[in-house]
Amino acid sequence: MAPAPPDPALLTMSAITKSFPGVRALDGVELSVRAGEVHCLLGQNGAGKSTLIKVLAGAHQPDDGEITWRGERVTLKSPTAAMRLGIATIYQELDLVEGLSVAENIFLGHELTTAGFVVRGREARRRATALLQRLGHPEIPPGRPVGDLSAAQQQIVSMARALSHDVRLIVMDEPSAALDPDEVDNLFRVVSTLVADGVAVVYISHRLEEIRRIGDRVTVLKDGRTVAVGLPAKRTPTAEVVTLMTGRAVENAFPARPSAPTTPAEPLLVVEGLGRQGEFAPFDLEVRPGEIVGLAGLVGSGRSEILETIYGARKPSTGRVLVGGRPLRPGSVRSAVRAGLGLAPEERKAQGLLMLDTVTGNVSVSTLSRFSRGGWLDRSAERAAAHAATRELSLRPDNPDAAVRTLSGGNQQKAVLARWLLRGCRVLLLDEPTRGVDVGARAELYAVIRRLADDGLAVLLVSSEVPEVLGLADRVLVLREGRIVHRAPAGDLDEHRVLDLVMEGSPTP
């Protein structure tokens, strides 16, 4: 395949409109993608990115508009139709079958067969190996069940599956969300290889710096409309992109720290020699009321495990946790909750929220006994109290009966925070609080967290985004392979230094 000349428009989508009952998800959206480019799609949650890529994948039918593919008008009736044209989509929630092997997943739906039904396993494994090699991951064994692979490896398998078709356009929906920095580097290498082969990539991400690194052009969506088409990815100023996405300028993303800790209060949360075999080494930690302590570390460094062990969701092998001077029963969530701990877990949907329930139901779930007399619920008191808590965090929409699944990521996070606010919790454990939250909404969430700390809560924050830890926390603990390798006030650290520590673990000279 000769490198394509800058022949415009491998794919053109014009005036795409799609409505759902009560919502106009897409309103005349334009997208134009050239062969061999990385085209970034930006927009806040709810801007219409997901709907647009589902239209492109053939999963949704547009109400109106035109799609042109290699100069011809097409309709994408089904995912199979899109796949046949050479459009592959890698969704955020990977659609792999965990129990099947790598090779079986790659050829799922178009198995290599003899006589139409006898699966040629060896040939599939051979081709799978070739595809994985092309993606720079020959180390993934094609016979291994996908469930045994890491998230990053699963993503590679997903890409290999896309490439197993004769693909000309790959859509990647937030592919870096679950990856560590070095894995992101690897991902970018793969993307570059693909692009060099003339494949077009539509790349969706919240992280502007990534778009700068690999993007060629940028299309920005807001509220179901296209607000900018084909901006140069490397040259457009960040402020301009953010303004386009949010409709306003975001200046100080992080709230100011309180000037100086007036009188150092007694530590509220004390961790003494807490350790868990095979996950993290024993460590000590103190968090005072009004203080935000950040834990920086890579995926797999033991961050989430530490939070969950403090919270009692995992049983420690050594050490103990004290709140207000009293020890918690090890391995008991209920003991932790009673003592005033609250956790906003990393997997918000899987671990934090009752997705079928209302905002009220989600907020009050830890406080039900307060609204009950002999098990009998005072539902109006419950609803009003939940409403008061969500209003304090300016959760939108301001409706305690709204279904929590209709909320944006940021507002879902606020529902979780409101739960603990209502409970009157004293120590807040936040695990990746801004994952899947828009740039605009993040600043608001940071402000909420800071305000809660100012009100006297002790906050322990885990994040894989170093700027977030540095910007929000007062003190930072750097974690590497289950060990605390460095402690310092946030002001004494910069992003580079933390990344070095996170990856190398070299102690401070």
Partner 1 sequence: MTQPASEAQQGGADAVPATDPPPAARADTAKAAPGPGGKNRDGRSPGGRGRLGLRFDARSLSLLAVLAALVLVGGITKPDEFLAVSNLQLVLTQASVIGVVTVGATFVITSGGIDLSVGAIVALASVWATTLATQNYGFAGIAFTAVVVGLGCGLVNGVLIAYGRMVPFIATLAMLASARGLALQLTDGKTQVVSVQSVLDLGSRDSYVLGIPPLVLVFAGVTVVGWLVLNRTTFGRRTVAVGGNPEAARLAGIDVRRQRLYLYLLSGLCCGIAAFLLVILSGSGQNTNGNLYELDSIAAAIIGGTLLSGGRGTIVGSVLGVLVFTTITNIFALNNLQTDVQQIAKGVIIVAAVLVQRRSAGPGEA
Task: Work out whether 117 is an interface residue with partner 1 (CB under 8 A).
Answer: no
Give 129 or 364: the residue with its C-beta nearer to partner 1.
364
Residue from 94, 130, 177, 365 that binds partner 1 (CB under 8 A)?
365
Give 214 or 459: the residue with its C-beta nearer to partner 1.
459
Give 52 or 385: the residue with its C-beta nearer to partner 1.
385
What CA–CA distance (Å, rounded) separates 449 from 413?
11
Residue from 81, 119, 227, 384 that binds partner 1 (CB under 8 A)?
384
Task: Work out whether 15 is an interface residue with partner 1 (CB under 8 A).
Answer: no
> In the numeric block, which tokens belong to residue 498?
């933390």
Give 68 or 366: the residue with its C-beta nearer to partner 1.
366
Give 45 or 105: the residue with its C-beta nearer to partner 1.
45
Residue from 406, 408, 467, 497 that binds partner 1 (CB under 8 A)?
406
Nearest approach, Cβ of 277 to partner 1 (angstroms)? Answer: 18
Site for partner 1 in 345-364 (CB under 8 A): 345, 350-358, 360-361, 364
> In the numeric block, which tokens belong to residue 343?
């956790």
Residue carrying structure tokens 């967290």:
449
Residue from 126, 189, 405, 451 that binds partner 1 (CB under 8 A)?
405
Task: Work out whether 94 is an interface residue with partner 1 (CB under 8 A).
Answer: no
Task: Work out whether 326 is an interface residue with partner 1 (CB under 8 A).
Answer: yes
Nearest approach, Cβ of 15 to partner 1 (angstroms)? Answer: 24
Nearest approach, Cβ of 22 to partner 1 (angstroms)? Answer: 9
Task: Work out whether 59 is an interface residue with partner 1 (CB under 8 A).
Answer: no
What CA–CA distance (Å, rounded) separates 55 from 49?
10
Give 199 or 269: the residue with its C-beta nearer to partner 1.
269
Alpha helices (runs of H) in 38-150, residue ranges in sequence order:
49-56, 79-85, 102-106, 121-134
Give 265 or 377: the residue with its C-beta nearer to partner 1.
377
Task: Work out whether 107 is an interface residue with partner 1 (CB under 8 A).
Answer: no
Q: Which residues, 6+ apart, have CB-to-CB distance to 93 below 8 Å?
A: none
Site for partner 1 in 296-325 (CB under 8 A): 311, 313, 320
Task: Work out whether 331 is an interface residue with partner 1 (CB under 8 A).
Answer: no
What CA–CA distance (Å, rounded) separates 443 from 15?
32
Nearest approach, Cβ of 375 to partner 1 (angstroms)? Answer: 5
Q: How many CA atoms lie within 13 A of 287 on its CB side?
A: 29
Going by their DSSP bridges, the two strands 169-173 and 87-90 should be labelled as parallel
Tell me the CA distances in angstroms from 405 to 11, 349, 356, one per residue in order. Answer: 33, 9, 7
Task: Work out whether 401 is an interface residue with partner 1 (CB under 8 A).
Answer: yes
Other C-beta atoms closer than 10 Å to the C-beta of 470 total 20
Tell me the CA distances in angstroms from 422 to 364, 368, 400, 487, one per residue in order. Answer: 7, 10, 14, 32
Check whether the bond before 258 is cis (ω within 30° of 0): no
Residue from 264, 369, 507, 509 that binds partner 1 (CB under 8 A)?
369
**Run of H or E including 241:** helix 238-246
Give, as one character, the DSSP assignment of residue 490: G
379-392 helix and 409-423 helix, angle to the nearest 10 degrees: 120
Give 44 or 358: the residue with its C-beta nearer to partner 1.
358
Site for partner 1 in 417-476 (CB under 8 A): 419, 423-424
Given a contact cutoff of 8 angstroms between Cβ atoms, the answer to whether 169 and 199 are in contact is: yes
Nearest approach, Cβ of 286 to partner 1 (angstroms)? Answer: 19
Residue from 25, 103, 149, 343 that binds partner 1 (CB under 8 A)?
343
Task: Work out whether 50 is an interface residue with partner 1 (CB under 8 A).
Answer: no
List, in sequence order, every residue forming a beta bridge with 24; answer none if it has no partner: 19
Given a contact cutoff of 8 angstroms between Cβ atoms, the answer to whether 146 and 157 are in contact is: yes
Rounding to the nearest 10 degrees, give the CA dihedral for residues 342, 348, 351, 356. 110
- Binding-site size for partner 1 (CB under 8 A) equals 62
Nearest approach, Cβ of 305 to partner 1 (angstroms)? Answer: 14
Task: Work out whether 329 is an interface residue with partner 1 (CB under 8 A).
Answer: yes
Task: Work out whether 379 is an interface residue with partner 1 (CB under 8 A).
Answer: yes
Other C-beta atoms closer than 10 Å to the C-beta of 129 total 18
Give, as one character, the DSSP assignment of residue 101: B
Coil/strand/helix, residue 381: helix
What CA–CA distance (Å, rounded) separates 32 from 378?
55
Residue from 86, 340, 410, 482 that binds partner 1 (CB under 8 A)?
340
Residue from 383, 414, 442, 480 that binds partner 1 (CB under 8 A)?
383
Q: Single out the residue of 360, 371, 313, 372 nearest to residue 337, CA to CA.
A: 313
Nearest approach, Cβ of 452 to partner 1 (angstroms)? Answer: 17
Q: What is the binding site for partner 1 (CB under 8 A)?
A: 20-21, 311, 313, 320, 326-330, 333-340, 343, 345, 350-358, 360-361, 364-372, 375-385, 387-388, 399, 401-403, 405-406, 419, 423-424
